[in-house]
A and B are shown apart, each in its own frame.
Chain A
């Protein structure tokens, strides 16, 4: 028995797992991940983030609680992934649309942010939970805090650069500072949703006024 077991043990410890087995394991893991994400998304939408437990998610996904935790460290991380998956769809759309936007820099910025609010509207509560969770202890240390999204920052930066090339943005202005201001205004416009349960139109209108005000600071003198 021992002579039989030894080679088997060795084989298991060596990094070379037969590629078929490895692929199967990976695809199983990916399948579990996708099921968990889909289940979590549905539950967060209907019963909110606070009202959903990891056990609920596991049950709906048809997997064990243990296997949820082999893929995710916490409920906060699941939420973070749900949001990232959704947001990457939005950014892909923005990147496609951005080059075709017309009008002044101010108008183009308004359009870009209006798309954000329209996108977030059906899941405002989830969005707020996402922001709240980013400040809590439930997220892993490497999670990206809300409002520091490099992809969005890049899009805004490009928009300003185009404006400078076309003459309605003062080229002497530090674009990074303007991007910062816009990001702050954008992120905190959600407070209207948090405290006054504002709808898309209200949030977009508030953001438009803030963009106008920032634009008055970056127009050429």
Chain B
């Protein structure tokens, strides 16, 4: 029994054990998140239960609850990770284009549609949760969601600076509307299976009409 003492003592040093624990915790969280992502994609938000998710992750519901407060917490975590990646994809799309503001915005829209094209059921669940009076606000007001809108506002502002758009372009409102349009095309992809090409043609028209009033000359 004596040899246990030094290990316990070592376990109490502030560095070692918390790291190991944190690592294990991180692995557990990652496992739960992966299982949850798969189930939300299969059964939707309402259809997936914590119990199903625990079973799929090979752990008890208690272990899931030790890491996440509830299902909406779990879902929000997935969405926030995705929106962060989406923000990067949009930023890259904008940086890779030196054409006019219309083209840049279109590239950003398409980066988003391409990102979700392979995981439409998850996008569908995201809209469902995003609109729900209970869980919607936390998801919509998350800084990573706001950043997507800000990326569009930034491009409009650059358009004004380059002189493509007038000074009175109402950047804030237009950026909100752009973001709304961007989102409003998802149902076409979700419910009607629109291809990326079809979405692109539609988005191009929408952006043109929305910017028409702000165009100079």
Encoded as 1 (CB less than 8 Å from any B CB) or 0, chain A from 127 to 143 comes to 01101110111100000
Structural contact, A50 and B141, CB atoms closer than 8 A: no
Whether A135 lies near B136 (C-beta < 8 A) is no
Interface residues of B (CB under 8 A from A): 43-47, 124-125, 127-134, 136-137, 140-141, 170, 173-174, 177, 180-181, 183-184, 187, 190-191, 202, 205-206, 209-214
A178 with B209: in contact, given A125-B133, A128-B136, A148-B187 (CB under 8 Å)? yes
The segment out of A7-15, A22-30, A62-70, A180-188 that lies at the interface is: A180-188
Residues in chain B near residue A131, CB distance under 8 A = 131
**Residue A136 contacts which of B45, B140, B214 (CB distance < 8 angstroms)?**
B45
- The A interface is mostly helix, strand or loop, or mixed, namely helix
A129: chain B residues at CB < 8 Å are: 132-133
Q: Which residue of A lies closest to B168 (CB)?
A: A216
Q: By the criterion CB–CB under 8 Å, are B180 and A188 in contact?
A: yes
Stretch at the interface among A33-41, A109-117, A206-214: A206-214
**CB neighbours of B134 from chain A (8 A):** 50
| With contact pairs A132-B136, A148-B187 given, residues A214 and B131 touching in the complex (Cβ less than 8 Å) | no
Count of chain A residues with a beta carbon within 8 Å of a chain B beta carbon: 39
B128 cross-chain contacts in A, Cβ below 8 A: 132-133, 135-136
A190 CA to B46 CA, complexed, in Å? 22
Structural contact, B173 and A194, CB atoms closer than 8 A? no
User: CB within 8 Å of B: which residues of A?
Assistant: 48, 50, 125, 128-129, 131-133, 135-138, 145, 147-148, 173-174, 177-178, 180-181, 183-185, 187-188, 190-191, 194-195, 209-210, 213-219
Least CB distance, B217 to chain A, in whole angstroms: 10
Are A147 and B184 in touch, CB under 8 angstroms? yes
Of chain A, the residue at the smallest CB distance from B136 is: A194
Among candidates B43, B137, B183, B205, residue contacting A188 with C-beta atoms closer than 8 Å = B183
Query: Are B140 and A174 interface neighbours, CB within 8 A?
Result: no
Check A216–B184 contact: CB distance below 8 A. no
Known contacts A135-B124, A191-B140: A217-B132 contact under CB 8 Å: no
Q: Most chain-B Cβ atoms within 10 A of its Cβ — which of A174, A181, A214?
A: A181
Contact B210 A217 (CB under 8 A): yes
Q: Identify which of A132, A216, A218 gathers the most chain B CB atoms within 10 Å of its CB.
A: A132
| Contact A137:B46 (CB < 8 A) given known A145-B191, A194-B140, A195-B141 | yes
State the CA gap A76–B181 with chains docked (Å): 26
Contact A147/B140 with A137-B46, A194-B133, A216-B213 known, Cβ cut-off 8 Å = no
Chain A residues, CB < 8 A from B202: 180
Q: What is the distance, in angstroms, from A116's C-beta to the closest C-beta of chain B?
A: 16
- Cross-chain contact of A48 among B131, B133, B177, B190 (Cβ < 8 A): B133
Contacts of A137 in B (CB 8 A): 43-44, 46-47
Given contacts A132-B131, A133-B128, contact A210 B177 (CB under 8 A): yes
Supplied contacts A137-B44, A213-B174, A216-B213, 6 more A-B pairs, CB within 8 Å: A50-B132, A132-B136, A135-B131, A135-B190, A194-B137, A195-B136
Chain B residues whose CB sits within 8 angstroms of the CB of A217 once the complex forms: 209-213
**B44 with A128: CB separation less than 8 A:** no
Q: Top 9 nearest A-B pairs by Cβ distance?
A: A216-B213, A217-B212, A184-B184, A188-B180, A135-B128, A137-B44, A132-B131, A217-B213, A135-B127
| Chain B neighbourhood of A185, CB < 8 A | 177, 180
B131-A194 in contact (CB<8A):
yes
List chain A residues, Cβ under 8 A from B130.
132, 194
CB-CB under 8 A from B129, the residues of chain A are 132
What are 19 inter-chain pairs, A to B, with CB distance below 8 A? A50-B132, A125-B133, A128-B133, A131-B131, A132-B127, A132-B129, A147-B187, A180-B206, A181-B177, A181-B206, A184-B184, A194-B137, A194-B140, A210-B173, A214-B209, A214-B213, A216-B213, A216-B214, A217-B209
